[in-house]
Structure 1
Protein backbone atom coordinates (compact mmCIF):
# COMPACT_ATOMS: atom_id res chain seq x y z
CA UNK A 1 0.00 0.00 0.00
CA UNK A 2 1.36 3.42 -0.96
CA UNK A 3 1.93 6.24 1.53
CA UNK A 4 -1.04 8.09 0.01
CA UNK A 5 -3.34 5.08 0.45
CA UNK A 6 -2.20 4.58 4.06
CA UNK A 7 -2.81 8.24 4.85
CA UNK A 8 -6.26 8.17 3.22
CA UNK A 9 -7.11 5.11 5.33
CA UNK A 10 -6.03 6.90 8.53
CA UNK A 11 -8.24 9.90 7.70
CA UNK A 12 -11.18 7.64 6.75
CA UNK A 13 -10.89 5.89 10.12
CA UNK A 14 -10.52 9.23 11.93
CA UNK A 15 -13.75 10.53 10.35
CA UNK A 16 -15.59 7.34 11.31
CA UNK A 17 -14.44 7.67 14.93
CA UNK A 18 -15.14 11.43 14.98
CA UNK A 19 -18.69 10.62 13.88
CA UNK A 20 -19.21 8.56 17.05
CA UNK A 21 -18.44 11.50 19.34
CA UNK A 22 -15.75 9.55 21.22
CA UNK A 23 -13.39 12.49 21.74
CA UNK A 24 -10.66 10.60 23.60
CA UNK A 25 -10.58 7.97 20.85
CA UNK A 26 -10.47 10.39 17.92
CA UNK A 27 -7.69 12.37 19.58
CA UNK A 28 -5.47 9.26 19.35
CA UNK A 29 -5.16 9.97 15.62
CA UNK A 30 -3.21 13.18 16.34
CA UNK A 31 0.41 13.83 17.26
CA UNK A 32 1.06 15.58 20.59
CA UNK A 33 1.94 18.80 18.76
CA UNK A 34 -0.95 18.76 16.26
CA UNK A 35 -3.00 21.85 15.45
CA UNK A 36 -6.48 22.33 14.00
CA UNK A 37 -7.29 25.56 12.14
CA UNK A 38 -10.85 26.65 11.24
CA UNK A 39 -11.65 29.33 8.65
CA UNK A 40 -13.71 32.41 9.37
CA UNK A 41 -14.26 34.61 12.39
CA UNK A 42 -16.61 32.64 14.64
CA UNK A 43 -15.59 33.43 18.20
CA UNK A 44 -14.40 30.32 20.04
CA UNK A 45 -14.28 28.26 16.84
CA UNK A 46 -12.21 29.97 14.13
CA UNK A 47 -8.45 30.18 14.20
CA UNK A 48 -5.77 27.71 15.24
CA UNK A 49 -6.14 25.40 18.23
CA UNK A 50 -3.82 22.92 19.88
CA UNK A 51 -5.27 19.54 20.84
CA UNK A 52 -6.29 20.65 24.35
CA UNK A 53 -8.26 23.57 22.89
CA UNK A 54 -9.68 21.35 20.12
CA UNK A 55 -10.89 18.83 22.72
CA UNK A 56 -12.56 21.60 24.74
CA UNK A 57 -14.29 22.94 21.62
CA UNK A 58 -15.64 19.49 20.72
CA UNK A 59 -16.78 18.66 24.26
CA UNK A 60 -19.87 20.79 23.73
CA UNK A 61 -21.09 18.59 20.88
CA UNK A 62 -22.35 15.98 23.35
CA UNK A 63 -25.03 18.35 24.64
CA UNK A 64 -25.60 20.39 21.46
CA UNK A 65 -26.41 17.39 19.21
CA UNK A 66 -29.03 14.66 19.63
CA UNK A 67 -26.53 11.90 18.77
CA UNK A 68 -23.67 13.51 20.77
CA UNK A 69 -21.67 13.90 17.54
CA UNK A 70 -21.49 15.37 14.07
CA UNK A 71 -21.40 12.71 11.35
CA UNK A 72 -18.70 13.32 8.72
CA UNK A 73 -19.08 11.73 5.28
CA UNK A 74 -16.11 11.95 2.90
CA UNK A 75 -17.21 12.75 -0.67
CA UNK A 76 -13.98 13.13 -2.66
CA UNK A 77 -10.30 12.56 -1.94
CA UNK A 78 -6.97 13.90 -3.12
CA UNK A 79 -3.77 12.57 -1.59
CA UNK A 80 -0.18 13.45 -2.33
CA UNK A 81 2.72 12.53 -0.08
CA UNK A 82 1.85 13.40 3.51
CA UNK A 83 -1.15 15.60 2.54
CA UNK A 84 -4.75 14.40 2.27
CA UNK A 85 -7.52 16.73 1.07
CA UNK A 86 -11.11 15.62 1.61
CA UNK A 87 -14.36 17.17 0.48
CA UNK A 88 -16.76 16.25 3.26
CA UNK A 89 -20.41 16.60 4.23
CA UNK A 90 -21.53 16.83 7.85
CA UNK A 91 -24.88 16.07 9.43
CA UNK A 92 -26.27 16.42 12.92
CA UNK A 93 -29.67 17.02 14.43
CA UNK A 94 -29.28 19.65 17.10
CA UNK A 95 -30.95 19.79 20.50
CA UNK A 96 -32.10 23.31 19.57
CA UNK A 97 -34.29 21.80 16.80
CA UNK A 98 -32.03 22.83 13.91
CA UNK A 99 -30.16 20.58 11.49
CA UNK A 100 -26.46 21.06 10.91
CA UNK A 101 -25.64 19.97 7.36
CA UNK A 102 -22.45 21.63 6.14
CA UNK A 103 -19.92 21.11 3.37
CA UNK A 104 -16.20 21.19 4.12
CA UNK A 105 -12.83 21.03 2.53
CA UNK A 106 -10.31 19.55 4.97
CA UNK A 107 -6.58 19.46 4.46
CA UNK A 108 -4.79 16.96 6.70
CA UNK A 109 -1.01 16.82 7.02
CA UNK A 110 0.30 13.56 8.47
CA UNK A 111 3.69 12.59 9.86
CA UNK A 112 4.61 9.06 10.93
CA UNK A 113 1.00 7.89 10.73
CA UNK A 114 -0.40 10.69 12.92
CA UNK A 115 -2.29 13.84 12.00
CA UNK A 116 -0.01 16.83 12.51
CA UNK A 117 -2.08 19.66 11.07
CA UNK A 118 -5.65 20.25 9.90
CA UNK A 119 -7.09 23.16 7.94
CA UNK A 120 -10.90 23.25 7.88
CA UNK A 121 -12.83 25.32 5.34
CA UNK A 122 -16.63 25.40 5.71
CA UNK A 123 -19.76 27.51 5.34
CA UNK A 124 -19.20 29.63 8.43
CA UNK A 125 -22.53 31.43 8.11
CA UNK A 126 -24.43 28.13 8.31
CA UNK A 127 -22.35 27.07 11.33
CA UNK A 128 -22.95 30.42 13.04
CA UNK A 129 -26.71 30.26 12.42
CA UNK A 130 -27.12 26.68 13.67
CA UNK A 131 -24.78 26.81 16.68
CA UNK A 132 -25.16 30.44 17.76
CA UNK A 133 -28.61 31.29 16.36
CA UNK A 134 -27.31 34.38 14.56
Structure 2
Protein backbone atom coordinates (compact mmCIF):
# COMPACT_ATOMS: atom_id res chain seq x y z
CA UNK A 1 0.00 0.00 0.00
CA UNK A 2 1.22 3.48 -0.87
CA UNK A 3 1.85 5.78 2.09
CA UNK A 4 -0.32 8.91 2.55
CA UNK A 5 2.80 11.05 2.04
CA UNK A 6 3.51 9.36 -1.30
CA UNK A 7 -0.14 9.77 -2.34
CA UNK A 8 0.05 13.53 -1.68
CA UNK A 9 3.43 13.97 -3.39
CA UNK A 10 2.11 12.09 -6.42
CA UNK A 11 -0.95 14.36 -6.38
CA UNK A 12 1.22 17.47 -6.73
CA UNK A 13 2.93 15.95 -9.76
CA UNK A 14 -0.45 15.11 -11.27
CA UNK A 15 -1.82 18.62 -10.57
CA UNK A 16 0.83 20.04 -12.90
CA UNK A 17 -0.48 17.84 -15.74
CA UNK A 18 -3.66 19.95 -15.86
CA UNK A 19 -5.51 16.75 -16.83
CA UNK A 20 -8.87 16.99 -15.03
CA UNK A 21 -9.61 13.27 -15.40
CA UNK A 22 -6.31 12.23 -13.84
CA UNK A 23 -6.66 14.86 -11.10
CA UNK A 24 -10.22 13.80 -10.22
CA UNK A 25 -9.03 10.20 -9.81
CA UNK A 26 -6.82 11.34 -6.91
CA UNK A 27 -9.81 12.34 -4.77
CA UNK A 28 -12.69 10.51 -3.14
CA UNK A 29 -16.05 11.22 -4.79
CA UNK A 30 -17.11 13.35 -1.79
CA UNK A 31 -13.73 15.05 -1.27
CA UNK A 32 -13.65 18.61 0.05
CA UNK A 33 -11.14 21.41 -0.55
CA UNK A 34 -11.58 24.18 1.99
CA UNK A 35 -9.77 27.52 1.65
CA UNK A 36 -10.09 30.66 3.73
CA UNK A 37 -13.29 32.62 3.10
CA UNK A 38 -12.88 35.72 0.98
CA UNK A 39 -9.43 34.78 -0.28
CA UNK A 40 -8.26 36.73 -3.34
CA UNK A 41 -8.30 33.75 -5.71
CA UNK A 42 -11.92 32.88 -4.90
CA UNK A 43 -13.03 36.51 -5.17
CA UNK A 44 -11.11 37.26 -8.40
CA UNK A 45 -12.47 34.15 -10.09
CA UNK A 46 -15.95 34.44 -8.53
CA UNK A 47 -15.37 30.92 -7.26
CA UNK A 48 -16.26 28.97 -4.13
CA UNK A 49 -13.72 28.83 -1.31
CA UNK A 50 -15.15 25.43 -0.33
CA UNK A 51 -15.27 22.91 -3.15
CA UNK A 52 -17.03 19.57 -2.77
CA UNK A 53 -16.55 16.59 -5.06
CA UNK A 54 -13.68 15.31 -7.15
CA UNK A 55 -14.97 16.80 -10.44
CA UNK A 56 -15.26 20.35 -9.04
CA UNK A 57 -11.83 20.20 -7.39
CA UNK A 58 -10.21 18.76 -10.53
CA UNK A 59 -11.80 21.37 -12.80
CA UNK A 60 -10.48 24.16 -10.56
CA UNK A 61 -6.93 22.77 -10.47
CA UNK A 62 -6.80 21.86 -14.17
CA UNK A 63 -8.52 24.89 -15.66
CA UNK A 64 -10.04 27.61 -13.52
CA UNK A 65 -7.05 28.67 -11.41
CA UNK A 66 -5.05 29.19 -14.60
CA UNK A 67 -7.39 32.02 -15.60
CA UNK A 68 -5.70 34.02 -12.82
CA UNK A 69 -2.28 32.39 -12.51
CA UNK A 70 0.12 31.56 -15.34
CA UNK A 71 3.72 30.36 -15.25
CA UNK A 72 3.02 28.71 -11.89
CA UNK A 73 6.09 27.59 -9.95
CA UNK A 74 5.67 25.62 -6.72
CA UNK A 75 8.59 25.21 -4.29
CA UNK A 76 8.10 22.86 -1.36
CA UNK A 77 9.42 24.04 1.99
CA UNK A 78 8.43 20.90 3.85
CA UNK A 79 6.23 17.82 3.75
CA UNK A 80 5.23 16.19 7.03
CA UNK A 81 3.11 13.09 7.62
CA UNK A 82 1.43 11.60 10.66
CA UNK A 83 -0.91 8.70 9.96
CA UNK A 84 -3.46 9.72 7.33
CA UNK A 85 -2.64 13.44 7.60
CA UNK A 86 -0.01 15.08 5.38
CA UNK A 87 1.03 18.73 5.71
CA UNK A 88 2.64 20.53 2.79
CA UNK A 89 4.34 23.91 3.18
CA UNK A 90 5.05 25.62 -0.11
CA UNK A 91 5.72 28.88 -1.87
CA UNK A 92 3.81 29.59 -5.05
CA UNK A 93 5.12 32.01 -7.61
CA UNK A 94 3.11 32.88 -10.70
CA UNK A 95 2.24 35.62 -13.12
CA UNK A 96 -1.07 37.45 -12.83
CA UNK A 97 -3.03 38.94 -15.75
CA UNK A 98 -1.20 41.98 -17.05
CA UNK A 99 2.16 40.45 -16.13
CA UNK A 100 2.19 41.30 -12.43
CA UNK A 101 4.12 38.83 -10.25
CA UNK A 102 2.41 36.77 -7.55
CA UNK A 103 4.24 35.12 -4.66
CA UNK A 104 2.69 33.71 -1.51
CA UNK A 105 3.32 31.03 1.09
CA UNK A 106 0.77 28.27 1.61
CA UNK A 107 0.11 25.45 4.03
CA UNK A 108 -2.08 22.54 2.95
CA UNK A 109 -3.39 19.89 5.32
CA UNK A 110 -4.38 16.76 3.41
CA UNK A 111 -6.42 13.92 4.88
CA UNK A 112 -6.04 10.66 2.97
CA UNK A 113 -8.60 7.83 2.98
CA UNK A 114 -7.22 4.60 1.57
CA UNK A 115 -5.38 5.58 -1.59
CA UNK A 116 -7.28 8.84 -2.26
CA UNK A 117 -7.43 12.35 -0.86
CA UNK A 118 -10.57 12.97 1.18
CA UNK A 119 -9.98 16.53 2.38
CA UNK A 120 -7.67 19.48 1.82
CA UNK A 121 -7.57 22.50 4.11
CA UNK A 122 -5.68 25.39 2.51
CA UNK A 123 -4.11 28.28 4.42
CA UNK A 124 -2.32 31.33 3.01
CA UNK A 125 -1.50 34.94 3.80
CA UNK A 126 -4.83 36.34 2.65
CA UNK A 127 -3.86 39.99 3.03
CA UNK A 128 -0.68 39.59 0.98
CA UNK A 129 -2.59 37.63 -1.68
CA UNK A 130 -5.32 40.28 -1.80
CA UNK A 131 -2.76 43.11 -2.28
CA UNK A 132 -1.00 41.24 -5.10
CA UNK A 133 -4.20 40.35 -6.94
CA UNK A 134 -6.16 43.59 -6.38
CA UNK A 135 -3.42 46.16 -5.65
CA UNK A 136 -1.99 47.98 -2.65
CA UNK A 137 -5.10 50.08 -2.05
CA UNK A 138 -7.34 47.05 -1.85
Q: How would you bin the TM-score normalised by the shorter chain?
A: 0.7 to 0.9
Aligned-partner SS, 1:34: strand
Distance apart, 1:19 and its partner CA: 3.0
Structure 1 gap ranges (5+): none
The number of residue pairs the alignment matches comes to 129
What does residue 102 of structure 1 align with? 104
Task: From the superposition, tell whether residues 20 and 99 of structure 1 become closer, same or farther in structure 2 (CA, over 3 Å).
Answer: farther
- Any residues of structure 2 matched to 1:75-114 within 5 Å, and which? 75-114=77-116
Normalised by the length of structure 1, the TM-score is 0.78
CA RMSD of aligned residues (A): 2.4
CA contact (8 A) 1:7 1:110 kept: yes
Runs of 4+ in 1 over 6 A off after TM superposition: none
Distance 1:11 1:119 in 2: 13
Distance 1:128 1:23 in 2: 27
- Any residues of structure 2 matched to 1:38-53 within 5 Å, and which? 38-42=35-39, 43=43, 44=46, 47-51=49-53, 52-53=55-56
CA contact (8 A) 2:23 2:58 kept: no
Task: From the superposition, tell whether residues 27 and 128 of structure 1 become closer, same or farther in structure 2 (CA, over 3 Å).
Answer: farther
Task: From the superposition, tell whether residues 21 and 131 of structure 1 become closer, same or farther in structure 2 (CA, over 3 Å).
Answer: farther
Aligned-partner SS, 2:86: strand
Structure 2 gap ranges (5+): none
